[in-house]
Chain A
Amino acid sequence: MFPSKLYTPLLLSLLALIVTALCALLLGRYEISIHELSTFIATLLGLSDMPAQRYDLLHSLIIEARLPRVVAAVLVGAGLSVSGAAYQGVFRNPLVSPGLLGVLSGCAFGAALGIIWHLPPLAIALVACMTGLIAVAVGLGIAHMFESPSILLLVLGGIVANALFTSLLSIAQYMADPVDQLPSIVYWLLGSLSAVDVQALWIIGPILGVAIVLLCLTGRAIDALSLSDDEALSLGVPVEQIRGGLIVLTTLICALTVSLAGMVGWIGLLIPHLARLLVGPGNTRLLPLSACLGGIFLLAADGVARSVSAGEIPLGIITELFGAIAFVLVLHRVRKGWL
């Protein structure tokens, strides 16, 4: 509960995130040197000067082509990680990931629908986001059908919502045109930042950014929820309201990340554990650190995804592959903590 003076890990990780993001701007088929990037940024800020033609080239490369992707990577990575950390605290279970209540399957179904209906990218993103929220609402509704919803009932409601929307997704895939639509759905489900729609990013990005910052500030509330319900209540904490609010905020973040980048797996489970290894279980520091590390991880994974081969490997494959391997290492270190 007492935030110790040790904010150092947070500042370091924030610094690392910025450095990684700058490196990601350098990365791509057209090489940009560090010197060029710094001159460009200085010019952009009006501190320096460079030839107009060169400036225009760099502007289209960096600002128009690479920056949206980098911003999206940071937001999606941070969003999924901080959501995962929050869910693990709220549900008092270190094995929980953000998909617990059905938001991801809901989003996947919505995106498949959008693709079948030939909607434009922005509309697909919005439909995906909506169905993600609906899926969680269904799960919560099922939990509320019985008395006051315990964590167990919430989880069971989530299982039902997950099953329901996974089957709806299967129906959508079954009905999709196998030549044209099915591959798009499958590719979308693999997760990728290559197709980040700038228009969608303009709308979704700010909301997502604000939601992530808000969630990062709820550490003390999540700490209080990690007690049993009775204990938290007897300490004056309005458990149900806080849990409800956190679930809404987290669901919104997850739905928005999926609508930007599709299904990017494993981050929400892996990164919080990594962060907990560094700063311990206190959520006031764990949440912001998870966000930073998540951003770094996804930037790195995206860097690998686009530079390993001439074509592009879907991001979801990279995160799952590296995530799974990294998780084993984390488990090895963390073993005595909670296993």
Chain B
Amino acid sequence: MKRLQARQLSYRIGDRLILDNVCLDIKAGDNIALLGANGAGKSTLMKLLLGLLTPHAGEVLIDGQPMGSMKRRAVARQIAYVPQSHVPSFPFSVAHIVGQGRLPNVGLSHAPSRDDQTYVQQALTDLGILHLSERPYTELSGGERQLVLIARAMVQRANIIILDEPVTGLDYGHQLRLLALLKRLAAQGISLLSSTHRPEHALASANRVLVLHEGRLIADGAPHDVIDSALMARLYQVAVEQIDTDGHRFFIPC
């Protein structure tokens, strides 16, 4: 089932073409890693898919319906966004931040109900951060903040979650736990698209890889089919040696 489709998306800033004729579709249970060098157009593509930017050509469809014709709240019930975490100005509690994930369903004019609070407790419990519930979000570590934002996306109950470099800034343990969590979510049928600068993570945990290079989508397929030393050389202009053992693939700089 195609949940989210991009048809011939193009986007430019001034005369510069940032994205050129990008087509893709996202299905239930996809756990997609979006690879690309800095400036390849990853962020722009994610913003277009979220409806935060309007494409200069092409369109985005949600369940076959053009996003442009949908209300923002209706879009928000389908797609959740996990941005790179930043520290807000005011020390809102973790429960408050996660509770805002209910906004697309509750709206601004109604107070959240007891059900909404239950969703929040449930998401915090699932992620093992229930104990942070009343802590100020501003006082958390980067890894904890990332988990809080994922919890917010979960209570949004959207079918699709788009994550902007979710492992950036996390320590080794948090990175691995986060990748495992994403795998779990995908197994539940949620579609995930995460941008990443780590090909080895894409190999280890994604079931599909999209590669953007200079604004074009140059590859779309299973991680082991797509990610090899030739791609590393093309994307990042580095020479690496590729090692395959027991179905695992590693790269060593040479």
Contacts and interface: CB of A to CB of B under 8 A. Distances in A.
B221 interface: no
Nearest to A96: B89
A186 interface: no
A337 B88 CA distance: 11
A59 interface: no
B47 interface: yes
Contacts of B80: 234
A3 B86 CA distance: 24
A94 interface: yes
B96 A1 contact: yes
Interface stretch (A204-212, A225-233, A288-296): A225-233
A280 B91 contact: yes
A236 B104 CA distance: 5
A71 interface: no
B104 A235 contact: yes
Residue with the highest number of chain B CB atoms closer than 10 Å, among A88, A233, A234, A276:
A234
Contacts of B108: 220-221, 224, 237, 242
A154 B117 CA distance: 35
Given A233-B72, A234-B81, A236-B104, A2 B96 contact: yes
Q: Which of A230, A236, A338 has the most CB of B within 10 A?
A: A236
A338 B117 CA distance: 26
Contacts of B47: 230
Contact of B111 (A3, A231, A276): A3
A235 B98 CA distance: 11
B121 to A, nearest CB: 11
Given A1-B99, A224-B100, A233 B88 contact: no
Contact of A223 (B89, B100, B101): B100
Interface size range of chain B in the complex: 35 or more
B137 to A, nearest CB: 10
B9 to A, nearest CB: 18
A264 B93 CA distance: 33
B185 interface: no
B157 to A, nearest CB: 12
Interface residues of A, number: 30
B83 A92 contact: no
A234 B76 contact: yes
B123 interface: no
Contacts, number: 96
B90 interface: yes
A92 B111 CA distance: 22
A221 B111 CA distance: 11
A235 B91 contact: no
B102 interface: yes
Contacts of B103: 224, 235-237
A149 interface: no
Interface string A224-255: 10111011011111100010000000000000
A173 to B, nearest CB: 36
A285 to B, nearest CB: 11
B89 A235 contact: no
B174 interface: no
A226 B83 contact: no
A236 B111 contact: no
A330 B196 CA distance: 43
Given A94-B89, A220-B111, A236-B76, 14 more contacts: A1-B99, A2-B96, A2-B99, A89-B90, A94-B90, A226-B90, A234-B51, A235-B76, A235-B104, A235-B156, A276-B90, A280-B91, A281-B91, A337-B138
Interface of A: 1-3, 88-89, 92-94, 220-221, 223-224, 226-228, 230-231, 233-238, 242, 276, 280-282, 337-338
10 contacts: A2-B95, A2-B111, A92-B88, A220-B108, A235-B76, A236-B77, A237-B103, A337-B136, A338-B91, A338-B138
